[in-house]
Structure 1
């Protein structure tokens, strides 16, 4: 029997006591599971009316199980034992968590960075590719599909036997793929991408890779009645209140794994929460950290709630490990399938508490439009840098704040000087190869110690479908460090007039442009030589981090 635990202390517990009864009185949970589109107000009604089928997926996705098992057996019979997923945002993050937790291999290609794309197009004799896109219009995914199709053809492999399409019924991708002879699995069209973990988008790649997706649905179905109950003990309502009803609002939600046994759940929750809530100048910023020693957990500020993801077998009725009543702490436990549904319900309820529509993403769309416009214009050399330091070009957007900085360390200091000491956060946005360059993320805790503020780290363009919405639509309290690079070698997009290198450059430039239009300070560090520039930036960030200390008030 699946169980869920949500235990809180401090301001999070106060928020639960004050706001859960209000949600219960409004019958929010039961109405949500009845797919009542009026729960978020008249302006959200048209969108929510076509976005609520996820509440019943634990049952309605069951017919997929046999189809996926048959396809998996067929592929294995053909010698295929390597599954690659091409998808962005919710289409990739949930399968990544499901497979990592199950201990099965899944190659997730959620990037347009040419080095990363090239590294995924290997071992084609034993590879099948799942292409996941609701409409098929996601340029990253379409470009990845084109690259794999051409690579299979070059190897003499019929791509229709190796590429599986997951998309909404009747989408342009659906119609074209069927006409071209590809295997298509349709997802429920009335589910948005970030709520799609238990649709075909989550289940097809996970099942083909070998995860037990039936157990996943069993765990979700086992808690559906609890989560749909108008009851003060409803764990989703408790979690929603802890996230979105603290007074004053603690709008930084620090997520740390504490022996949950679920691999990567904070990264999935980050996208769900940030993209759902970060709009209209409000929202909850998820901050994914690595351990209890990270400064956001060890010394949380007054605008932070810390959520620990604990093991399913722990005593969820005990709050012994939640410390100091002045800290806002939450412990969440439960198996993966149950937690996927828990966080989805809690995020939808958080939208109600915040007074926003949790199903749209207007600022994600604005960055996409800016990127497309730059591609259409042709990616030139871009604006002249404010300065060049070694293998790094320095540019500053979003205001006249760079001053006379001419070196990377000086520019970093100038950006940090823009931070709001009480409400601000730093977002590091690395448009690099998140596999080959993974070590760069290790700078995050040191930067949090130096700035005495929460720090997020996102790989571009992956984060554009996640925290990218919060950056632009949430509170204007962030400062942004964008790192871009000249790839080791560019890669053409078959049938397109742009390359992967030009595309990812347009995504980074479009992202920075929209942030600047919103008045957000953006420091762009462009590596003109990848290896030398990356070493230089890492050294500069490490030096910047060493200027801090473990006391959050030490030099504030």
Structure 2
């Protein structure tokens, strides 16, 4: 279960900015309905689509003996092809169902990182999964070539160690089909940063031992409630952020646990790449995401938030500390450090929670807009809800900003320039 508290700003948010009227909420909701009906993006269908589950189950059933020997899964992909998977595995790795498989990522062309990630890798217990919408992304295609060459994966005896997830009938799909590699397709209408609930995420997560049906169930239930107008806070937050984009152009995600580090990175791509666009009037618009992890970043960024330019909103993510009672700080008094004894006997989770509350209060006292998402238990179901919440929020802000939330022409232009340079 996710518990939401909402923006707080005594000077402004208790008035019309905090409580948009029903007409404003209805307008944004109807714009999102139009996106769904017009199939502008396919991610809205993923929580109820059975394709990813079926593909994953079929692959595991047909390759059960081979998969028993797998100790390493190496993802060849970048951005939306890797960040969502990293995010969910990072949040759920503590679950007992998680298999003892090392998950590695080949994401970019840093030669030191490539060698590091492939060190001590034995092909006999490794599965490479290439994930790309087209396969023509230069980082992914270059790393794929390197891996094929290094491990002789074009040899029929080794082909089972390499599979592909890509757009239906993409160049990568064609390559895989022609060379008899196992390949799974996804809807072309699903952008990479919105693809985690497709086979892109579901298949690797299933291989790692997670209950992927519960991830999709959590996402489906939250999205269904949203479409039934039972999660109006999403629309209210979107309206506030979009209408106040000049006053608060920077949006901080302040997550109070290191398990959210990769989730924050996923959010940064989702928010930045989706909302930094030229609108229908030819004006450049956008909101800037920043990722912070508490309590670590209290010691590096909190000063800027509280006494720097007041151009930021802060969303906190925290865990219900009552669910995490161990470990505890020992009842130990150290000479000269007696001033720290007030936390003795407290669980580390409670300490972290109190640090988050104190930080939030300090920020609120400066009249900075904040809200909070508290997660009762970090499990597959709650993670599915968290993923779809941020995707729906991104879409809602996008329709208010009058942009195409789902393309990335600025990124594509950089690819063109790189090709010209070579």
Q: TM-score range by the shorter chain?
A: 0.7 to 0.9
Does the C-alpha gap of structure 1 residues 374 and 216 become closer, same or farther in structure 2, counting only changes over 3 Å?
same
CA distance in 2, matches of 1:130, 1:16: 46
- Contact persistence 2:87–2:260 (CA under 8 A): yes
What is the deviation of 1:114? 1.7
Matches within 5 A, 1:468-479: none
Does the C-alpha gap of structure 1 residues 14 and 84 become closer, same or farther in structure 2, counting only changes over 3 Å?
farther
- Contact persistence 1:253–1:286 (CA under 8 A): yes
CA distance in 2, matches of 1:154, 1:90: 25
- Contact persistence 1:19–1:241 (CA under 8 A): yes
- Contact persistence 1:12–1:330 (CA under 8 A): no
What is the deviation of 1:355? 2.2
Structure 1, unaligned runs of 5 or more = 38-48, 376-556
Are positions 1:63 and 2:60 aligned together? no
Q: Could you list the per-position Cα deviations for residues 17-55 of structure 1 after superposition, in whole angstroms to 9, with x for gaps in the alignment? A: 354734422262684387144xxxxxxxxxxx4x42211
Secondary structure in structure 2 of the residue aligned to 1:8: coil
CA distance in 2, matches of 1:218, 1:20: 31
- Give the alignment's TM-score, normalised by structure 2: 0.76
Are positions 1:343 and 2:390 aligned together? yes
What is the deviation of 1:216? 1.1
User: Which residue matches 1:163?
Assistant: 162
Matches within 5 A, 1:220-231: 220-230=219-229
Secondary structure in structure 2 of the residue aligned to 1:332: strand
What is the deviation of 1:195? 0.7
Does the C-alpha gap of structure 1 residues 181 and 253 become closer, same or farther in structure 2, counting only changes over 3 Å?
same
How many corresponding residue pairs? 357
Which one has more relative contact order, counting CA pairs under 8 Å at least 6 apart? 2
User: Which residue matches 1:327?
Assistant: 368
- Give the alignment's TM-score, normalised by structure 1: 0.59
Secondary structure in structure 2 of the residue aligned to 1:85: strand
Secondary structure in structure 1 of the residue aligned to 2:152: helix
Decide which of 279, 285, 289 is 2:277's aligned counterpart: 279
Q: Could you list the per-position Cα deviations for residues 265-290 of structure 1 after superposition, in whole angstroms to 9, with x for gaps in the alignment? A: 11101000000011222101101123
CA distance in 1, matches of 2:276, 2:28: 25
Does the C-alpha gap of structure 1 residues 121 and 260 become closer, same or farther in structure 2, counting only changes over 3 Å?
closer
- Contact persistence 1:135–1:172 (CA under 8 A): yes
Does the C-alpha gap of structure 1 residues 247 and 146 become closer, same or farther in structure 2, counting only changes over 3 Å?
closer
CA distance in 1, matches of 2:63, 2:203: 9
What is the deviation of 1:256? 1.3
Q: Could you list the per-position Cα deviations for residues 109-157 of structure 1 after superposition, in whole angstroms to 9, with x for gaps in the alignment? A: 2111122122223412321111001112111111111111112218988
- Contact persistence 2:148–2:154 (CA under 8 A): no
User: Which residue matches 2:326?
Assistant: none
For the aligned residue pairs, the C-alpha RMSD in angstroms reads 2.9
Matches within 5 A, 1:145-544: 145-153=144-152, 158-230=157-229, 233-246=231-244, 248-259=246-257, 262-280=260-278, 281-290=284-293, 291-293=297-299, 294-295=301-302, 296-299=304-307, 301-311=309-319, 321-322=360-361, 323-324=364-365, 326-334=367-375, 335-375=382-422
What is the deviation of 1:209? 2.9
Structure 2, unaligned runs of 5 or more = 279-283, 324-356, 376-381
